[in-house]
Amino acid sequence: MNVKQVKAFLAVAESMSFASAATQLHLSQPALSLSIKSLEDNLGGKLLTRTTRHIALTPEGEALVPLARRLLAQWENAEDEMKQRFALQLGKITIASMPSFAASLLPKAIRNYHASYPSIQVAIDDVLSDVVVEMVRNNQVELGISFEPSNLVDLSFHPLYEDRFIAILPKDHPLETQETIAWQALLEYDFITLQRPSSVRTMIENTLQEAGIELNVAFDAHQLATVGRMVSEGMGVAVVPALCRQQAIEQGAICRPVIEPEIRRRVGVICQPRSNLSIAAAAMLDVLINTYA
């Protein structure tokens, strides 16, 4: 049973005329009759009785009429929904983003996207950068925003910009007068960072190890916002992505570039190959690139 056969049957059942139904469907009467016969053959019995002057529905035909109407309505709804999705008039996308990006830069891109595609719903999962990659790889989300992973395997990475890590200090800290702060000078004070596993902590540890600098951690936390609050309360100093600058300033911390060595890392969109993305997700990828890259 196919849609054309169901439409043909319903047109005859509602008009009780092969001539009227054929005109309505833009078919010849022989083609219409063949479609009805194919439907009957597929279902295993007669749906209509026909004489030279009269057409009637069999009991099975009567039973099929409401079913056929529901089927066609569902088919038309499905067709309409898919057309809307391809026209970006309907749909939903979820973006996994590291919290520092979600809280600072992402809202601008979402605003731009919503201005162009107001009917598409956008949901944000703010999770640690390592979790972002796994959510994309496991098809939990189509788009993820994070630092560039060391091992992409089958995923794509679209760079948006390069982030340079900064030192954050409490107000009135002895290092506040310096325009840039060297790691050796910074680590003379209690150091606060993220808990393992964290890509930010891994970057800090690897960079300092390569420079031959020993890292002693006084306090660690699960979120960068907590690290910033601990610094602003005078518990120590920290190094965070520049993404956190505005949040750190709002918390009352002082921000300075950290040098000797610097830590730079690309931030971008992680996703499956573009050909595997939904129309809505591909449009969001373009908006992100156009907004930040």
pLDDT in tens, 180-206: 999 999 999 999 998 887 888 888 999
What is the CATH superfamily name and number for domain 91-160+266-292?
Periplasmic binding protein-like II (3.40.190.10)
Q: Please report the pLDDT score of residue 285 as a whole number.
A: 95
Confidence of residue 288 (pLDDT cuts 50, 70, 90): very high
pLDDT of residue 225 exceeding 90: no
0.85 surpassed by pTM:
no
**pLDDT tens, residue by residue, 9-35:** 999 999 999 999 999 999 999 999 999
- Token pair recorded at residue 105: 């830069």
SS3 content of the chain, % helix, strand, coil (to 5): 50, 20, 30
Confidence of residue 258 (pLDDT cuts 50, 70, 90): very high
Cα–Cα distance list, 87 to 93, 274, 285, 291 (Å): 15, 17, 16, 22
Amino acid present at 26? H
Q: Angle at CA 242, nearest 5°, toward 249 and 135?
A: 115
The residues facing 259 across adjacent strands are 182
**Which residue pairs, CB below 8 angstroms and at least 24 apart, start in 58-67?**
61/9, 61/13, 64/9, 64/13, 65/10, 65/13
Cα-flanking dihedrals φ and ψ of residue 167, to 5°?
-90, 140
- Give mean pLDDT, residues 117-140: 89
- 7 vs 91, higher pLDDT: 7
Identify each DSSP E strand in 199-245 by its residue range.
Answer: 219-221, 237-240
- Give mean pLDDT, residues 263-292: 91
Helices (H) and strands (E) in the chain, counts: 12, 13
Identify each DSSP E strand in the chain by its residue range.
Answer: 48-50, 55-57, 91-97, 120-126, 143-147, 156-164, 166-169, 181-182, 191-194, 219-221, 237-240, 254-259, 264-271
Domain with CATH 3.40.190.10 in the chain: 91-160+266-292, 163-264
Q: Please report the pLDDT score of residue 213 as a whole number.
A: 93
Verify cis geometry, omega within 30 degrees of 0, for the bond prior to 261. Answer: yes
Domain with CATH 1.10.10.10 in the chain: 3-87
Asked if the 163-264 domain carries CATH number 3.40.190.10, the reply is yes
Q: Are 262 and 184 in contact (CB under 8 A)?
A: no
Domain 3-87, CATH class in plain words: mainly alpha
Q: Please report the pLDDT score of residue 111 as a whole number.
A: 94
- Give mean pLDDT, residues 41-64: 90
Closest C-alpha to 220, from 190, 250, 248, 245: 190
- Residue in the block written with tokens 């595997």: 276
pLDDT of residue 54 exceeding 80: yes
Q: What percent of the chain has pLDDT over 70?
A: 100
pLDDT of residue 129 exceeding 90: no
Q: Please report the pLDDT score of residue 69 as a whole number.
A: 92
